[in-house]
Structure 1
Amino acid sequence: MMGLSHANSILGFHAFKKEDWDVACRFDMANGSHKAYYVPNMDVSLDGVVMKKGEKILFEQAFKYGPKECKNLFQRAGVMPIAQFGNCTGEYYVHLLSSCTLEMPTQVTEYVADVIPNVVDFENLWKIWDTVTLSMISQDELLSKPIKLRNALIFYLGHSPTFFDIHLTRATDGIPTEPKHYQSVFGRGIDPDVDNPELCHDHSDIPSEWPHLGEILTYRDAVRSRARAVLAHGVKTRRLAEALWIGFEHEAMHLETFLYMLLQSDKILPPPGVPQPNFESLAHQSALESRESSWFTIPEQQVSIGLHDPDDHVIPKHSFGWDNEKPKRVVNVPAFAAQARPITNGEYAKYLEQHHISSLPASWIDLVPKTADVRRNGYGNCNGYSTNGHRQLDSGASNEFLERFAIRTVFGPVPLKWALDWPVMASFNELQGYAESMSCRIPTFEEVRSIYQYSMFLKSLEDDGALRSMNGNGHGSHRNARVVKTLDKSIEPPAEDAHGNPRTPDHQPVQSPSTNPMPVFIDLDDNCNVGFKHWHHTPVTKHGNRLSGQSELGGVWEWTSTPLHAHEGFKSMELYPGYSGN
């Protein structure tokens, strides 16, 4: 009734008597809003205006948003959540939001609107490229080498436009952008064998002194202007279309290269205009939402791999592809069991502590002086809880162990205790060691594709309600991996495996070999940490009872155990023959 009192105050006289009015409320299911009305309990007349008894006068409409609806709202509004503050029951929250410095499309109709990237696609890519390469590291540090086996950071500022210009020149039978000698300096990077750096492909000569940054940026702008002019005149030949596509893809890939190199630098700067998230608050929220990681039986099925692009003279209908992505082929993948989600930092920490392993993933930082004994005894756990709100069960590492480490992010080191539910970033050998300790293995490439396809199948059942009725409540560079097991068809899987892992949820739907292959491109929903929705990894434990599909790994790539090799029908790209060959 406070509204009536305020109205009286504004009008200057007692126009509305509280005893003459009631308040009626209802929830509008159609648009998800709460509506409140003043309702006179008798006919009320004010300056000739008659309000009939029972007439509803709307005075409040409050929209209610669940977590998923909030994410959609924030994304549409171009803002990103920084922190949230809720009541004790978790029903109401105040959200702290910040404007986004960029927005990358996540729907197929947007991010592959055409086979050829358009000028808007390039401008958006160049915007984020410039943000990362010029604003997240000081100019002096561009000469540093965060990864010793690679070139200095400044190389990539020259390499990306040089590579693009090489292919534009070939496709147009034109002349290189000046200075022409950049092709011999920035044409190809260096990526030697980690175990034996003497083994390395052909690469550009490394100069005794890199060109000045200003000169490199002038060259970059000239190449970009050339690309804009090409796009403005229209693209009619496959040769030119593929040159534009390969230039776009190449720069996007090296954006990732530059970012994971920056993460290895202690001099990294946060992205401008992006406030630092409240990682402690996010960890608490993740702890409340975490679910036990289930195991799923991935049925034997046929999996379609690669692109169909048989004509080297015609622009393809759907997409160009790299040589290792062609031709399209179908493989039969036997049944196997897979963990629902990737390995987390928390799980990997427990593995390191239990097995007294002192070597750390490159994504971790040891906060203890190097003279300290990594394998000391006496790890304590005074109250059974870690500092981020996780209950310290037998499966967790001790508090004292967790306190010693942090995770590298673009915002600086984040305490491990606040990143336990993030996917661990580690090398293949490190994750293989973890898998073997669990009597598991890292999946093959074909098995990973089978997981993605089956995950999409389960989502389709969930969308039409079938999975809900079958499954009850549903419980059941650096990269990550999930672990898998080969199935013995003669043995019925137990309720738990030897390590206490829950088996496949009861009544999991059985799928015959798929006749509907997974599409090449998919919509990337809220479960996909892509497109700079976040500048850090995100928890993967919230959906531990659901099979994680493509791009649902918290912001990391997924390792497979399949070495790169020439599959049947492989043919090197005419445009870039050394892409896979070297």
Structure 2
Amino acid sequence: MSGLREELAAALAWARQRSTVLTISVDDADLVAQHSPLMSPLVWDLAHIGNQEELWLVRDVGGREPVRHDIDDLYDAFRHPRRTRPALPLLGPDETRRYVDEVRDKTWDILDASTFRGSRLVEDGFVFAMIAQHEQQHDETMLATHQLRLGRPVLTAEPVPSAVAAGDPGEVVVPAGEFDMGTSSDPWALDNERPGHRVFVDAFAIDTVPVTNGDYAVFVAETGSEAPQFWIDDGCGNWWRRRFGVLEPVPPDEPVVHVSWFEASAYARWAGKRLPTEAEWEKAARWDPVTGRSRRYPWGDDPPGPEHANLGQRHLSPAPVGAYPDGASPLGVQQLIGDVWEWTSSPFTGYPGFAAFPYREYSEVFFGGDYRVLRGGSFGTDPIACRGTFRNWDHPVRRQIFAGFRCARDL
């Protein structure tokens, strides 16, 4: 069990390191400010991260006394819409930091004592991994808040790699047939990824790379459609973008980002195509035509490395198409993982045999609305919260998330 314990400890520590970077990079005024009514103040996200860790690890798994029994309501995401959270009597920045540190100290003791046996919640370290995934998901949300924040640049990262393979838009044909969608065996998969099940998909064609900024600029010019969020027209036929406080020319060969589902759908229709269904996206990403099995990732079952995908805030933008040939699927579809979340045409719902675990509010309460599924992760998604079965969802009008798309078509 020592290997599992060390893996979980590393995942929790890395998530906290990232949360710290995202919150110490701005002053207290920025931490408590609401930079968009679509987003929480950064200080709310940080305290919510600590509160979820306290509820699940300190109180439930650890059986310890509450660290702060008086703040559960304040940091319940279902009780208070994001736009109203600044008006709540939230913990201040210093108090929030002390709180999350105290919770984490108790978590280390509970992790050290765990046998990872006795209940489904702790088996294979699921609940510890769930908390690490939860923190990383909020880290991506905080990164999106940073993009909405006005002011001087405060975040830094390595430049994106150059394209090393042909990134010309093309398509591959995915033959008709069944494949294994979702998972019943991945120990850290969340409830909406389960259970694994066989799905028949008709033959279709899918683009080998995501739609690029250059592609989308042509669409905007020819249709008069609105440009992606954060694009600025200089009046001389050139597009610029504001990226985490930096004003720079829009790179034509990077996947377009910050477009809504409606905009992605409109582009696909203009191009004579459509958005892929969720099942089509997953088959293109995971299905190996030689073995007939579904891989954990497009390149295989090994976890993502820097040669496979643009993940984990290693960079602060998508990489050019063709930058990750080692991450291609068996059919040759590139950059399915990382760079930009990809809109699909599918509504968010449970798989056949779905069972909520460990609580309904993670997935089930979102079924049946107008939510659309996104797949693949973005440059702001950590590897622990991104795999070939991972499902994200959002309202189709949302543009502030790191979302792009690729197109598909019927045969």
Please say which structure displays the higher CA radius of gyration: 1
Aligned position for 2:382: none
Matched, 1:517 2:349: no
Aligned position for 1:350: 218
Inter-partner Cα distance in structure 2 for 1:138 and 1:523: 35
Cα 1:147–1:411 shift into 2, 3 Å: closer
Question: What RMSD, in angstroms, separates the aligned Cα atoms of the two structures?
Answer: 3.0
Cα 1:185–1:191 shift into 2, 3 Å: closer
Q: Deviations over 1:335-382 (max 9, x none)?
A: 10111110001100110011122x2322x23254xxx7xxxxxxxxxx
Aligned position for 2:144: 260
Matched, 1:339 2:207: yes
Inter-partner Cα distance in structure 2 for 1:143 and 1:430: 32
**TM-score scaled by structure 1?**
0.55
**Alpha-carbon shift at residue 430 of structure 1 (Å):** 0.8
Matches within 5 A, 1:296-315: 296-308=172-184
Aligned position for 2:12: 122
Partner AA of 2:169 in structure 1:
S
Matched, 1:244 2:128: yes
Matches within 5 A, 1:65-464: 114=4, 117-135=7-25, 137-168=26-57, 169-178=59-68, 180-188=69-77, 207-237=87-117, 238=119, 239-240=121-122, 241-267=125-151, 269-271=153-155, 274=157, 277=159, 290-308=166-184, 318-357=186-225, 359-362=226-229, 364-368=230-234, 400-401=236-237, 403=238, 405-410=239-244, 412-416=246-250, 419-425=251-257, 426-454=259-287, 457=288
The percentage of aligned residue pairs carrying the same residue is: 21
Q: Say which structure, 1 or 2, has more relative contact order (CA 8 Å, 6+ apart).
A: 2
Matched, 1:539 2:302: no
**TM-score scaled by structure 2?**
0.76
CA contact under 8 A between 2:175 and 2:204: conserved in structure 1? Answer: yes
User: Secondary structure of 1:353's partner?
Assistant: helix
Aligned position for 2:310: 529
Matches within 5 A, 1:472-483: none
**Alpha-carbon shift at residue 158 of structure 1 (Å):** 0.7
CA contact under 8 A between 1:146 and 1:265: conserved in structure 2? Answer: yes
**Alpha-carbon shift at residue 247 of structure 1 (Å):** 1.0
CA contact under 8 A between 2:33 and 2:86: conserved in structure 1? Answer: no
Aligned position for 2:370: none
Aligned position for 1:556: 340
CA contact under 8 A between 2:32 and 2:42: conserved in structure 1? Answer: yes
User: Secondary structure of 1:562's partner?
Assistant: strand
User: Secondary structure of 2:173's partner?
Assistant: strand
CA contact under 8 A between 2:213 and 2:254: conserved in structure 1? Answer: yes
Out of 256-265 and 435-444, give the one that drifted further: 256-265
Any unmatched runs of 5+ in structure 2?
366-411
**Alpha-carbon shift at residue 259 of structure 1 (Å):** 0.7
CA contact under 8 A between 1:538 and 1:555: conserved in structure 2? Answer: yes
Partner AA of 1:347 in structure 2:
D
CA contact under 8 A between 2:179 and 2:293: conserved in structure 1? Answer: no
CA contact under 8 A between 2:182 and 2:194: conserved in structure 1? Answer: yes
Number of matched pairs: 349
Cα 1:522–1:427 shift into 2, 3 Å: farther
CA contact under 8 A between 2:153 and 2:244: conserved in structure 1? Answer: yes
Q: Deviations over 1:441-481 (max 9, x none)?
A: 00001000111135xx4xxxxxxxxxxxxxxxxxxxxxxxx
Cα 1:192–1:432 shift into 2, 3 Å: farther
